């Protein structure tokens, strides 16, 4: 235990040294347990949030969050943000789910497309012209956002938006979001702490996260007791290849924790692994369950590829997906990983609790 403590302190020291932190100015506290693409550092007069680019393995943005930013002493590469924010343009569905959980869905004043929104508060405010549809970030006319909000969150893709400087000149801040690049399910959910800080709902965000963490860990403990591990395939054909989540990915983590024998568990990487249809049919035809093919019905599956009918999971009606209510899934699944895990356990091991209903998933029939 003492060795682990020394090792932890050494890592903290090296991290501080690499970032040129001055210990006398720093109340040092990384608040995240699982997320790898965001850091929270408590300083004497503000909270520093570092957003990391997972593809470049480097810090992409640094923000200083404080209720009074007028006299902050910060480095030139740190962007001040006065909190709480009054409003936000949320261009990622996961932002919406997280803001809902801290009672801030009404702070959303801009979205990408109302057709892909499930949240009732946003729909209601959109009908009252309180929420505006905006273009994709790279195509936005900066002047069109005046009066909508001074802050935009968007899915980061490694490079800043082409018009970020123009937006900054008129006082609009762009914040990249890499929650979708997190590998651990609880890592995705941990981004709620950032939104809690932005809207001065830190305690509410931390309380919610602790609650779902307990539920998630309880489910893992339950699934560990299950001796039988049914085989499972995932994905479907896109173009000439069948793409399945790679063995080190977010979905593979969930499949493993749900006590399944995932056929692609040994593949490398955190993205997707491509297979030819012939190889999938040859090697995985008799797999028991098929998760996330991306279709709403078996009819749609056959229209896409008539050879899907040869899989045992197709014949035995053991195909499950969230496609019947996709908007709801994309908004809420990242912030409710315990419900996704619960669904997978229930699907794979229905005898554990025969009367339990699924949250996100539905049998495709």
Predicted confidence (pLDDT) per residue in 60-115, tens digit: 999 999 999 999 999 999 999 999 999 999 999 999 999 999 999 999 999 999 99
Instruction: Please give the share of the chain, as a percent, with pLDDT higher than 90.
Output: 81
247: left (phi over 0), alpha (psi -120 to 50) or beta: alpha
Give tens-digit pLDDT for 266-282: 999 988 999 999 999 99
Please give the mean pLDDT across all residues of the chain. 90
| Residue among 275, 286, 276 nearest 310 (CA) | 286
Q: Is the pLDDT reported for residue 58 higher than 50?
A: yes
Instruction: Please give the share of the chain, as a percent, with pLDDT higher than 70.
Output: 92
Do residues 263 and 233 lie in contact, with contact meaning Cβ atoms separated by under 8 Å? yes
Give the relative orientation of helices 337-348 and 202-224 as an angle to the nearest 10 degrees. 20
Q: Is the pLDDT reported for residue 20 higher than 80?
A: no
Task: Give 116's Cβ-side CA count (13 Å radius).
Answer: 14
Do residues 290 and 314 lie in contact, with contact meaning Cβ atoms separated by under 8 Å? yes
pLDDT score at 353: 84
Q: Determine the average pLDDT of the residues in 288-304.
A: 96
In sequence order, which residues have a C-beta less than 8 Å from that of residue 13 and are 6 or more positions away?
A: none
The encoded tokens of residue 153 equal: 């969150």
Q: Determine the average pLDDT of the residues in 348-360.
A: 91
- Spatial separation of the C-alpha atoms in residues 184 and 194, rounded to whole Å: 17
Q: Is the pLDDT reported for residue 31 higher than 80?
A: no
Confidence band, pLDDT 50/70/90 cuts, at residue 355: confident
Residue 110's SS3 state is strand
The encoded tokens of residue 147 equal: 């009066």
The residue that leads in pLDDT, 165 or 354, is 165
What's the N-to-C CA distance of the chain in angstroms?
53
Number of H helices, E strands in the chain: 13, 17
Q: Tokens 């959910």 belong to which residue?
A: 189
Q: Is the pLDDT reported for residue 312 higher than 80?
A: yes
The residue that leads in pLDDT, 84 or 25, is 84
State how far the alpha carbon of 254 is from the alpha carbons of 233, 258, 271, 353, in Å. 13, 6, 14, 19
pLDDT score at 27: 47
Confidence band, pLDDT 50/70/90 cuts, at residue 180: very high
Q: Determine the average pLDDT of the residues in 282-301.
A: 97
pLDDT score at 7: 35
Q: Determine the average pLDDT of the residues in 176-184.
A: 94
Give tens-digit pLDDT for 195-232: 999 999 999 999 999 999 999 999 999 999 998 999 99
pLDDT score at 22: 43
Partnered with residue 79 across adjacent β-strands are 63
pLDDT score at 29: 57
Confidence band, pLDDT 50/70/90 cuts, at residue 30: low
| Residue among 188, 186, 168 nearest 178 (CA) | 188
Q: What angle (nearest 5°) sits at the alpha carbon of residue 322, between those of residues 227 and 288?
A: 35
Give the relative orientation of helices 337-348 and 250-257 as an angle to the nearest 10 degrees. 50
| Residue among 337, 330, 254, 323 nearest 94 (CA) | 330
Do residues 156 and 51 lie in contact, with contact meaning Cβ atoms separated by under 8 Å? yes
pLDDT score at 138: 77
Give tens-digit pLDDT for 226-282: 989 999 999 999 999 999 999 999 999 999 999 999 999 999 998 899 999 999 999
| Residue among 99, 102, 138, 143 nearest 117 (CA) | 99
190 class by beta-carbon count within 10 Å (0-12 exposed, 13-18 middle, 19+ buried): buried
- Spatial separation of the C-alpha atoms in residues 83 and 66, rounded to whole Å: 6
């Amino acid at each position: 235990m003492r060795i682990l403590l020394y090792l932890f302190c050494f890592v903290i020291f090296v991290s501080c040294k690499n970032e040129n932190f001055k210990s006398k100015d720093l109340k040092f506290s990384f608040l995240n347990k699982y997320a790898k693409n965001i850091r929270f550092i408590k300083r004497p007069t503000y909270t520093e949030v570092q957003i990391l680019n997972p593809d470049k393995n480097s810090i992409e943005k640094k923000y200083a969050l404080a209720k009074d930013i007028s006299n902050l002493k910060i480095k030139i590469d740190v962007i001040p943000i006065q909190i709480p924010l009054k409003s936000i343009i949320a261009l990622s569905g996961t932002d919406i789910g997280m803001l809902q959980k801290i009672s801030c869905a009404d702070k959303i004043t801009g979205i990408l497309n109302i057709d892909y929104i499930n949240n009732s508060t946003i729909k209601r405010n959109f009908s009252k012209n309180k929420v505006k549809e905006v273009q994709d970030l790279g195509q936005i006319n900066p002047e069109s956002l005046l009066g909508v909000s001074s802050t935009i969150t968007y899915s980061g893709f490694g490079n800043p938006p082409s018009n970020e400087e123009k937006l900054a000149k008129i006082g609009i801040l762009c914040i990249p979001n890499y929650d979708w690049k997190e590998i651990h399910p609880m890592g995705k959910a941990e981004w709620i702490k950032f939104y809690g800080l932005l809207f001065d709902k830190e305690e509410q965000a931390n309380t919610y996260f602790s609650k779902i963490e307990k539920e998630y860990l309880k489910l893992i403990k339950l699934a560990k007791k299950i001796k039988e591990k049914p085989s499972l395939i995932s994905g479907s054909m896109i173009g000439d290849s069948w793409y399945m989540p790679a063995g080190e990915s977010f979905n593979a983590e969930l499949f493993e924790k749900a006590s399944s024998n995932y056929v692609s568990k040994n593949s490398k990487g955190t993205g997707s692994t491509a297979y030819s249809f012939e190889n999938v049919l040859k090697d995985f035809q008799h797999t028991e369950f098929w998760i996330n093919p991306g279709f709403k019905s078996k009819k749609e599956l056959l229209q896409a590829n008539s050879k899907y009918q040869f899989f045992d999971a197709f014949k035995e009606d053991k195909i499950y997906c969230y496609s019947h209510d996709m908007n709801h899934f994309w908004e809420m699944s990242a912030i409710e990983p315990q419900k996704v895990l619960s669904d997978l356990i229930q699907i794979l091991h229905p005898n554990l609790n025969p009367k339990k209903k699924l949250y996100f998933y539905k049998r495709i029939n």
